[in-house]
Homo-oligomer: A and B are copies of this chain.
Amino acid sequence: MNQTPLGPGSEFDIIRRILKDAASPGPQVALASGDDCALINKGDGGYLAVSVDLSVQDAHFVIEWGTPELIGERAVRAAHSDVAAMAAQPFGTLVSLNVPGKSGPSLAERVAIGCRAAAEQLGAPLIGGDLSHGGASLVVDVVALGVVEKPLLRSGARPGDEIWVTGELGAAAAAVRAWKAGESPTNRWRRAFWEPGSRIGEAVFLAEAGASAAIDLSDGLLADAAHIAAASGVGIEIDWDAVPAAENVETELALAGGEDYELLVAVPGGILNDEKIADFASFFGIPLSRVGRTVSGSGVRVFRDDAEVELDSMGFDHFVDG
């Protein structure tokens, strides 16, 4: 294991240029960039999973959309979603927090209390961080730490696997779209944005069932499926009508909208039988939907009524739409 290839997108073009000719890390590092987490050899056969996830005011959230506590909670949940996506168990959280120069210490404290609450809910208490004051932006950067014996990677999918997603998609993007239009999101949409699930148990269940690859849906189903396709060296076909769009959300947004923090997994055909699907629903209280398949080739294609859907202008790109 070392670097894992990324899917298309201008953000990932920059990362590719930065990492071109980069030095290889030493033997402590089992897996470097390109997956949801970096993996560090623990020395006892297991791995430490490390991820970092940045939330910047007006880039990732607008303060007035929620509360300082929710900003902290969301940042921690989003970061640990990367740990979950490798079927790792979160155990610790570090938080870097900066509050703008014009704000007082109570803003820092309220965001941090939100971070702490979410971290403890996830079984990953705060174990360090950094606090500062100045500049123009509220910034929360979260380091998520987990442990795992058998990590679930982006690169393990093989042609003929099924593609499944947890939960419902598009509600967080629908909330953002509503706020940007000056409208009020539904409570369901608002909750999807501010309190995303971290699919920790779900990922372990799917890994134990035999999943071959996984990613968390932070960039959107299409963009994240493209990462799995690039990492695994396969193509992915998605069935438009199978996409589990959240209530009152159109399928386009469920495909392209980011920040759902659900899981997309590849699973060898037939493993997720009716019994497993029923178990999943009763254990976790969310649906599990088969949305497509892997094929020989590359890239992601979407089919509706046997016709390929034109994907131009879909997908989420931080340097285009961000």
Contacts and interface: CB of A to CB of B under 8 A. Distances in A.
B143 A52 contact: yes
Interface string A12-52: 00110111001111101100110001101011111010111
Contacts of A18: 109, 112-113, 116, 126
B52 A129 contact: yes
For this chain, the copies found in one complex come to: 2
Contacts of A58: 101, 134-136
B130 A24 contact: no
A96 B54 contact: yes
Contact of A29 (B127, B132, B143, B322): B127
A8 to B, nearest CB: 15
A21 to B, nearest CB: 9
B17 A109 contact: yes
Contact of A28 (B91, B94, B96): B91
Contacts of A23: 120, 125
A128 interface: yes
A139 B54 contact: yes
Q: Does more than half of chain A's interface fall in helix, strand or loop, or is it mixed?
A: mixed
Interface in A99-137: 101, 105, 108-109, 112-113, 116, 120, 123-137
Contacts of A97: 54
Contact of A50 (B11, B95, B128): B128
Interface of A: 10-11, 14-15, 17-19, 22-26, 28-29, 32-33, 37-38, 40, 42-46, 48, 50-54, 56-60, 91-92, 94-98, 101, 105, 108-109, 112-113, 116, 120, 123-137, 139, 141, 143, 145, 147, 318-319, 322
21 contacts: A10-B105, A11-B131, A18-B116, A19-B116, A19-B126, A22-B116, A25-B124, A28-B91, A29-B127, A33-B129, A38-B92, A38-B128, A50-B143, A51-B94, A52-B96, A53-B130, A54-B132, A59-B101, A59-B133, A134-B322, A141-B141
